[in-house]
Chains A and B, each alone.
Chain A
Protein backbone atom coordinates (compact mmCIF):
# COMPACT_ATOMS: atom_id res chain seq x y z
CA UNK A 1 0.00 0.00 0.00
CA UNK A 2 1.42 3.38 -1.05
CA UNK A 3 2.47 5.65 1.81
CA UNK A 4 2.49 8.73 -0.38
CA UNK A 5 1.92 9.97 -3.91
CA UNK A 6 4.28 12.44 -5.52
CA UNK A 7 4.52 13.77 -9.06
CA UNK A 8 5.97 16.63 -11.08
CA UNK A 9 4.11 17.22 -14.32
CA UNK A 10 4.14 19.83 -17.06
CA UNK A 11 0.95 20.31 -19.07
CA UNK A 12 -0.01 22.67 -21.88
CA UNK A 13 -2.63 25.38 -21.22
CA UNK A 14 -5.44 22.89 -21.66
CA UNK A 15 -8.36 22.30 -19.30
CA UNK A 16 -8.75 18.62 -20.23
CA UNK A 17 -5.15 17.85 -19.32
CA UNK A 18 -5.51 19.87 -16.12
CA UNK A 19 -8.58 17.80 -15.27
CA UNK A 20 -6.55 14.56 -15.52
CA UNK A 21 -4.01 15.83 -12.98
CA UNK A 22 -6.83 17.08 -10.77
CA UNK A 23 -8.39 13.59 -10.83
CA UNK A 24 -5.04 11.96 -9.94
CA UNK A 25 -4.65 14.23 -6.90
CA UNK A 26 -8.22 13.62 -5.77
CA UNK A 27 -7.82 9.85 -6.15
CA UNK A 28 -4.66 10.02 -4.07
CA UNK A 29 -6.52 11.90 -1.32
CA UNK A 30 -9.39 9.40 -1.50
CA UNK A 31 -6.83 6.58 -1.15
CA UNK A 32 -5.99 8.03 2.28
CA UNK A 33 -9.70 8.39 3.20
CA UNK A 34 -9.78 12.17 3.36
CA UNK A 35 -13.25 13.22 4.51
CA UNK A 36 -15.80 14.47 1.97
CA UNK A 37 -15.41 18.11 3.01
CA UNK A 38 -11.64 17.90 2.37
CA UNK A 39 -12.20 16.33 -1.06
CA UNK A 40 -14.70 19.10 -1.83
CA UNK A 41 -12.16 21.76 -0.77
CA UNK A 42 -9.26 20.21 -2.71
CA UNK A 43 -11.37 19.85 -5.87
CA UNK A 44 -12.58 23.45 -5.65
CA UNK A 45 -9.11 24.90 -5.00
CA UNK A 46 -7.48 22.84 -7.75
CA UNK A 47 -10.14 23.99 -10.18
CA UNK A 48 -9.63 27.64 -9.19
CA UNK A 49 -5.83 27.51 -9.24
CA UNK A 50 -5.59 25.63 -12.56
CA UNK A 51 -8.17 27.89 -14.20
CA UNK A 52 -6.23 30.93 -13.00
CA UNK A 53 -2.97 29.48 -14.35
CA UNK A 54 -4.40 28.54 -17.75
CA UNK A 55 -6.73 31.49 -18.34
CA UNK A 56 -5.27 34.44 -16.46
CA UNK A 57 -1.61 33.37 -16.21
CA UNK A 58 -0.97 31.81 -19.60
CA UNK A 59 -3.85 33.57 -21.38
CA UNK A 60 -4.94 30.22 -22.91
CA UNK A 61 -1.72 30.27 -24.97
CA UNK A 62 -1.02 26.72 -26.23
CA UNK A 63 2.70 27.43 -26.27
CA UNK A 64 2.80 28.23 -22.57
CA UNK A 65 2.96 25.45 -20.01
CA UNK A 66 1.75 24.87 -16.48
CA UNK A 67 4.06 23.09 -14.02
CA UNK A 68 2.32 21.09 -11.32
CA UNK A 69 3.97 19.37 -8.38
CA UNK A 70 1.99 17.47 -5.79
CA UNK A 71 2.57 15.40 -2.69
CA UNK A 72 -0.20 13.50 -0.95
CA UNK A 73 0.07 11.38 2.19
CA UNK A 74 -2.21 10.44 5.08
CA UNK A 75 -1.80 13.87 6.68
CA UNK A 76 -1.64 16.49 3.96
CA UNK A 77 -2.12 17.38 0.32
CA UNK A 78 0.51 19.81 -0.93
CA UNK A 79 0.31 21.32 -4.42
CA UNK A 80 2.45 23.80 -6.34
CA UNK A 81 1.21 25.27 -9.62
CA UNK A 82 3.36 27.60 -11.71
CA UNK A 83 2.29 29.21 -14.97
CA UNK A 84 4.40 31.06 -17.56
CA UNK A 85 2.55 34.35 -17.32
CA UNK A 86 3.71 37.70 -15.96
CA UNK A 87 2.28 37.08 -12.50
CA UNK A 88 0.20 39.41 -10.37
CA UNK A 89 0.27 41.10 -6.99
CA UNK A 90 -2.20 39.79 -4.46
CA UNK A 91 -2.80 43.30 -3.14
CA UNK A 92 -3.99 44.37 -6.62
CA UNK A 93 -6.91 41.93 -6.48
CA UNK A 94 -9.98 43.75 -5.14
CA UNK A 95 -12.07 42.19 -2.38
CA UNK A 96 -15.07 40.74 -4.26
CA UNK A 97 -17.21 41.01 -1.10
CA UNK A 98 -17.12 44.82 -1.07
CA UNK A 99 -20.23 46.60 -2.31
CA UNK A 100 -18.40 48.16 -5.29
CA UNK A 101 -17.26 44.72 -6.47
CA UNK A 102 -20.08 42.41 -5.40
CA UNK A 103 -21.72 42.42 -8.83
CA UNK A 104 -18.49 41.91 -10.75
CA UNK A 105 -18.44 38.46 -12.39
CA UNK A 106 -14.74 37.78 -11.69
CA UNK A 107 -12.33 37.80 -8.76
CA UNK A 108 -13.73 35.22 -6.32
CA UNK A 109 -11.29 32.34 -6.91
CA UNK A 110 -8.58 33.58 -4.56
CA UNK A 111 -11.10 34.36 -1.81
CA UNK A 112 -12.47 30.80 -2.06
CA UNK A 113 -8.99 29.24 -2.00
CA UNK A 114 -8.07 31.29 1.10
CA UNK A 115 -11.27 30.09 2.76
CA UNK A 116 -10.72 26.38 2.08
CA UNK A 117 -6.93 25.89 2.36
CA UNK A 118 -4.75 25.67 5.47
CA UNK A 119 -1.84 27.28 3.61
CA UNK A 120 -1.89 29.45 0.49
CA UNK A 121 1.19 31.33 -0.67
CA UNK A 122 2.27 32.99 -3.90
CA UNK A 123 5.81 33.24 -5.19
CA UNK A 124 7.49 36.65 -5.58
CA UNK A 125 6.64 36.98 -9.27
CA UNK A 126 3.02 36.07 -8.63
CA UNK A 127 2.88 33.29 -11.22
CA UNK A 128 3.11 30.41 -8.76
CA UNK A 129 0.87 29.22 -5.96
CA UNK A 130 1.67 26.88 -3.06
CA UNK A 131 -1.34 25.22 -1.46
CA UNK A 132 -1.65 22.90 1.52
CA UNK A 133 -4.74 21.15 2.83
CA UNK A 134 -4.28 19.13 6.03
CA UNK A 135 -6.51 16.11 6.49
CA UNK A 136 -9.57 16.84 8.61
CA UNK A 137 -8.19 20.15 9.91
CA UNK A 138 -10.34 23.27 9.90
CA UNK A 139 -9.03 26.42 8.26
CA UNK A 140 -8.13 29.08 10.85
Chain B
Protein backbone atom coordinates (compact mmCIF):
# COMPACT_ATOMS: atom_id res chain seq x y z
CA UNK B 1 0.00 0.00 0.00
CA UNK B 2 1.20 3.50 -0.82
CA UNK B 3 -0.03 6.26 1.48
CA UNK B 4 0.50 9.94 0.78
CA UNK B 5 -1.13 13.13 2.10
CA UNK B 6 -3.69 13.23 -0.72
CA UNK B 7 -3.91 9.69 -2.07
CA UNK B 8 -3.71 6.10 -0.88
CA UNK B 9 -3.04 3.29 -3.36
CA UNK B 10 -4.21 -0.21 -2.48
CA UNK B 11 -3.50 -3.19 -4.72
CA UNK B 12 -6.54 -5.44 -5.23
CA UNK B 13 -5.60 -8.41 -7.46
CA UNK B 14 -4.48 -6.74 -10.71
CA UNK B 15 -6.09 -3.38 -10.01
CA UNK B 16 -4.52 -0.40 -8.23
CA UNK B 17 -7.29 1.32 -6.28
CA UNK B 18 -6.43 4.96 -5.74
CA UNK B 19 -8.43 6.42 -2.86
CA UNK B 20 -8.61 10.19 -3.12
CA UNK B 21 -8.37 11.40 0.48
CA UNK B 22 -9.35 15.06 0.14
CA UNK B 23 -12.96 16.18 0.59
CA UNK B 24 -12.20 19.09 -1.72
CA UNK B 25 -10.17 18.79 -4.91
CA UNK B 26 -10.38 22.48 -5.75
CA UNK B 27 -7.11 24.01 -4.68
CA UNK B 28 -4.51 24.31 -7.45
CA UNK B 29 -1.72 23.23 -5.08
CA UNK B 30 -3.56 20.06 -4.03
CA UNK B 31 -4.40 19.26 -7.66
CA UNK B 32 -0.72 19.67 -8.57
CA UNK B 33 0.32 17.35 -5.71
CA UNK B 34 -2.20 14.67 -6.68
CA UNK B 35 -1.16 14.97 -10.34
CA UNK B 36 2.53 14.56 -9.47
CA UNK B 37 1.86 11.51 -7.26
CA UNK B 38 -0.34 9.79 -9.85
CA UNK B 39 1.95 10.54 -12.80
CA UNK B 40 4.93 9.20 -10.82
CA UNK B 41 2.96 6.03 -10.03
CA UNK B 42 2.08 5.53 -13.72
CA UNK B 43 5.72 6.01 -14.75
CA UNK B 44 6.78 3.35 -12.21
CA UNK B 45 3.85 1.08 -13.10
CA UNK B 46 3.24 1.25 -16.86
CA UNK B 47 0.23 -0.57 -18.32
CA UNK B 48 -1.42 -0.51 -14.90
CA UNK B 49 -5.11 -0.88 -14.17
CA UNK B 50 -6.06 2.12 -12.08
CA UNK B 51 -9.36 2.70 -10.32
CA UNK B 52 -9.89 6.15 -8.84
CA UNK B 53 -12.24 5.98 -5.87
CA UNK B 54 -14.06 9.28 -5.16
CA UNK B 55 -16.02 8.16 -2.09
CA UNK B 56 -14.40 10.80 0.18
CA UNK B 57 -14.63 13.64 -2.36
CA UNK B 58 -17.40 16.22 -1.94
CA UNK B 59 -16.15 19.02 -4.18
CA UNK B 60 -14.06 19.24 -7.33
CA UNK B 61 -13.34 21.95 -9.87
CA UNK B 62 -12.75 22.14 -13.61
CA UNK B 63 -9.01 22.09 -12.84
CA UNK B 64 -9.50 18.66 -11.24
CA UNK B 65 -11.33 17.52 -14.38
CA UNK B 66 -8.34 18.72 -16.40
CA UNK B 67 -6.09 16.62 -14.17
CA UNK B 68 -8.25 13.53 -14.85
CA UNK B 69 -8.08 14.12 -18.60
CA UNK B 70 -4.30 14.47 -18.56
CA UNK B 71 -3.99 11.38 -16.37
CA UNK B 72 -6.29 9.38 -18.66
CA UNK B 73 -4.16 10.29 -21.70
CA UNK B 74 -0.97 9.40 -19.85
CA UNK B 75 -2.32 6.02 -18.71
CA UNK B 76 -3.64 5.24 -22.22
CA UNK B 77 -0.21 6.00 -23.68
CA UNK B 78 1.30 3.38 -21.35
CA UNK B 79 -1.45 0.89 -22.42
CA UNK B 80 -3.01 1.02 -18.99
CA UNK B 81 -6.66 1.51 -18.00
CA UNK B 82 -8.26 4.22 -15.89
CA UNK B 83 -11.74 3.86 -14.42
CA UNK B 84 -13.63 5.89 -11.81
CA UNK B 85 -16.03 4.85 -9.04
CA UNK B 86 -18.08 5.97 -6.04
CA UNK B 87 -18.73 9.49 -7.30
CA UNK B 88 -21.36 11.41 -5.27
CA UNK B 89 -24.48 12.38 -7.27
CA UNK B 90 -23.67 16.11 -7.01
CA UNK B 91 -20.21 15.47 -8.52
CA UNK B 92 -21.55 13.09 -11.13
CA UNK B 93 -23.68 15.99 -12.35
CA UNK B 94 -20.43 17.86 -13.16
CA UNK B 95 -19.32 14.92 -15.32
CA UNK B 96 -22.70 14.89 -17.07
CA UNK B 97 -22.73 18.67 -17.69
CA UNK B 98 -19.26 18.49 -19.24
CA UNK B 99 -20.09 15.16 -20.98
CA UNK B 100 -17.00 13.61 -19.43
CA UNK B 101 -19.27 10.75 -18.35
CA UNK B 102 -18.85 9.69 -22.01
CA UNK B 103 -15.05 9.89 -21.79
CA UNK B 104 -14.53 8.04 -18.51
CA UNK B 105 -15.81 4.63 -17.50
CA UNK B 106 -17.65 5.40 -14.27
CA UNK B 107 -19.05 2.85 -11.81
CA UNK B 108 -21.35 3.42 -8.88
CA UNK B 109 -19.63 0.87 -6.62
CA UNK B 110 -15.99 -0.16 -6.24
CA UNK B 111 -16.84 -3.90 -6.28
CA UNK B 112 -18.59 -3.51 -9.63
CA UNK B 113 -15.65 -1.48 -11.03
CA UNK B 114 -13.07 -4.04 -9.88
CA UNK B 115 -14.71 -6.85 -11.84
CA UNK B 116 -14.84 -4.70 -15.00
CA UNK B 117 -11.07 -4.67 -15.64
**Nearest Cβ on chain A to B105's Cβ, whole angstroms:** 15
| Bound: A108/B6 CA distance, A | 24
Q: A43-B59, A47-B61, A51-B63 are in contact. Are A112 and B94 (CB under 8 A)?
A: yes
Contacts of B27 in A (CB 8 A): 15, 19
- A/B pair count, beta carbons within 8 Å: 56
Interface size range of chain A in the complex: 20 to 34
Q: Does A115 contact B (CB under 8 A)?
A: yes
Residue of A nearest to B96 (CB): A115
Contact between A108 and B62, CB atoms less than 8 A apart: yes
Residue of B nearest to A54 (CB): B28
Find the residue from A15, A96, A108, A111 having the highest chain B CB count within 10 A: A108
Stretch of A61-69, A70-78, A98-106, A117-125 at the chain-chain interface: A98-106
Contact between A40 and B90, CB atoms less than 8 A apart: yes
Residue of B nearest to A19 (CB): B27
Q: A96-B98, A97-B98, A112-B94 are in contact. Are A51 and B103 (CB under 8 A)?
A: no
Q: Does A55 contact B (CB under 8 A)?
A: yes
Q: Does A80 contact B (CB under 8 A)?
A: no
| Bound: A107/B100 CA distance, A | 13
Contacts of A108 in B (CB 8 A): 62, 65-66, 98
Contacts of B59 in A (CB 8 A): 40, 43-44, 47
Contact between B61 and A44, CB atoms less than 8 A apart: yes
| Bound: A104/B102 CA distance, A | 14
Interface size range of chain B in the complex: 20 to 34
| Bound: A48/B94 CA distance, A | 13
Contact between A111 and B66, CB atoms less than 8 A apart: no
Contact between A97 and B90, CB atoms less than 8 A apart: no
| Bound: A51/B62 CA distance, A | 10
| Bound: A50/B73 CA distance, A | 27
Query: Which residues of chain B from 19 to 72 have a CB within 8 Å of any chain A CB?
Result: 26-29, 59, 61-63, 65-67, 69-70, 72
Q: Does B97 contact A (CB under 8 A)?
A: yes
Could you show 9 A-B contacts with beta carbons less than 8 Å apart?
A43-B26, A44-B61, A44-B94, A47-B59, A51-B28, A103-B69, A105-B70, A107-B62, A109-B61
Chain A interfacial positions (CB closer than 8 Å to B): 15, 19, 37, 40, 43-44, 47-48, 51, 55, 96-97, 102-109, 111-112, 115
